[in-house]
């Protein structure tokens, strides 16, 4: 063996030894970190306080006995989250809420449900995990029936108390079917409000239905309009937390998945249940730009479908399930922004 070959072999052996030493120390460091984390959890618990665990990319990195300190620390990192020790639900989370899996493999994370669903549909054996509810909310293996009707969805009328309260009354039906006996008047009181018209820095503006209920929800005597999906979604979250799902922007056919799972779907439509001509629309001048509106705006709760009709509970006409031609209903819904809300099945 030549001298140069011996030198190379000795060098390689030294490298192997160094790598093994590094692996050993990394293992020891990682083990000590985990031991330190465990010690901190035990220490905080012995003080009679709640231990808040901070994660990055779902791996624990620190523990605090004070939530505000945990939050301050977590905000320094991307994809961070916080949960109480021993609990499985995140109480604060900067991760995108929707995770698409194929089998057990995480493919991609999304902020928007529509984007997550479109991506998941490209793969067989795919699922969508919703971090806010800590459950899977969609899977590609579910068979969607050609027709389906949810039974025994309660009827609640908006009149005479809520002249413009179709949105919160439809939400009350949704909550009651889920088992929460929440009164429509309570929802009307708790929905975030926006003035119909106001002045700011010398300029006149309208309230924004994407931010709250615009105007008077109770009486025709005062100006008012209605509310869109975002404030309704936030209100629903107050009662059911992370189980609230905002499906706005998805296709109408995507709503069938949840109806098949016995989750009625709250939607924005119009009182004619068909596409309106442009002269039926106007614009609200909000601080965030013009928002399209029509005084025929309406909200109902979808309970079923078949090849010809969409079935729904209408707060304007309580007492029986209503139906409208499918194609007209869907186009009218799309014209109003494809707004839809339900809950985790």
Q: What is the CATH number of the domain that holds 300?
A: 3.90.70.10
Backbone angles phi, psi at 165, to 5 degrees: -95, 30
pLDDT confidence bin for 11, thresholds 50/70/90: low
Domain that holds residue 108: 98-139
244 and 260 housed in the same domain:
yes
Domain tally, the chain: 3
181 and 326 housed in the same domain:
yes
**Any idea which residue has 């093994």 for tokens?**
20
Beta bridge partners of 60: 55
177 and 122 housed in the same domain:
no
Tokens of 256: 């069938």
Burial class (CB in 10 A: 0-12, 13-18, 19+), 13: exposed
20 and 163 housed in the same domain:
no
- pLDDT, position 220: 93
195 and 125 housed in the same domain:
no
- pLDDT, position 230: 96
Percentage of the chain exceeding pLDDT 70: 90
pLDDT (average), residues 79-103: 90
115 and 167 housed in the same domain:
no
Tokens of 191: 């929905």
70 and 199 housed in the same domain:
no
Q: Which of 7-16, 238-247, 250-259, 282-291 has the lowest mean pLDDT?
A: 7-16
8 and 126 housed in the same domain:
no
- pLDDT top residue among 149 and 46: 149
Q: Are the beta carbons of 217 and 224 closer than 8 angstroms?
A: yes
pTM beyond 0.75: the answer is: yes
132 and 80 housed in the same domain:
no
**Any idea which residue has 């629309």 for tokens?**
281
Q: Hey, CA dihedral for 93, 95, 100, 106, is it positive or negative? A: negative
- pLDDT, position 258: 98
Please state, in angstroms and rounded to a whole number, the distance separating the CA atoms of residues 41 and 5.
Answer: 54
- pLDDT, position 13: 63
- pLDDT, position 188: 98
Q: Is the pLDDT at 7 greater than 70, yes or no? A: no
- Per DSSP (E only), the strands in 166-207 are 193-194, 197-200, 203-206
The single-letter DSSP state of residue 144 is P
């Amino acid at each position: 063996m030549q001298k140069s070959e011996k030198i190379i072999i000795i060098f390689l052996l030294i490298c192997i030894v160094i790598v093994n030493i590094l692996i050993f120390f990394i293992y020891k460091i990682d083990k000590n970190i985990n031991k330190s984390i465990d010690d901190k959890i035990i220490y905080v618990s012995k003080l009679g306080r709640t231990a808040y665990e901070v994660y990055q990319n779902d791996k624990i990195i620190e523990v605090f006995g004070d939530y505000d300190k945990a939050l301050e620390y977590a905000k320094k990192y991307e994809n961070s989250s916080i949960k109480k020790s021993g609990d499985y639900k995140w109480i604060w989370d900067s991760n995108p809420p929707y995770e698409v899996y194929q089998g057990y493999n995480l493919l991609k994370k999304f902020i928007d449900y529509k984007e997550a669903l479109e991506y998941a549909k490209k793969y067989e054996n795919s699922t969508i995990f919703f971090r806010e509810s800590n459950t899977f909310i969609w899977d590609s293996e579910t068979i969607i029936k050609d027709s389906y009707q949810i039974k025994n969805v309660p009827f609640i009328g908006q009149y005479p108390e809520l002249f413009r309260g179709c949105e919160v009354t439809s939400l009350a039906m949704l909550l009651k079917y889920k088992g929460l006996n929440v009164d429509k008047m309570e929802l009307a009181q708790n929905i975030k409000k926006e003035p119909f018209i106001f002045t700011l820095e010398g300029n006149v503006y309208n309230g924004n239905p994407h931010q709250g209920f615009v105007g008077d929800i109770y009486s025709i005597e005062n100006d008012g309009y209605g509310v869109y999906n975002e404030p309704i979604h936030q209100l629903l979250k107050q009662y059911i937390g992370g189980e609230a799902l905002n499906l706005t922007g998805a296709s109408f056919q995507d709503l069938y998945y949840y109806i098949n799972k016995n989750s009625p779907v709250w939607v924005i439509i119009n009182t004619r249940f068909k596409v309106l001509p442009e002269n039926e629309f106007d614009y609200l001048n909000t601080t965030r730009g013009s928002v399209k509106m029509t005084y025929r705006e309406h909200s109902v709760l979808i309970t079923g479908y078949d090849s010809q009709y969409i079935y729904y509970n209408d707060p304007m006409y309580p007492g029986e399930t209503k139906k409208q031609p499918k194609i007209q209903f869907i186009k009218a819904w799309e014209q109003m922004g494809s707004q839809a809300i339900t809950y985790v099945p």
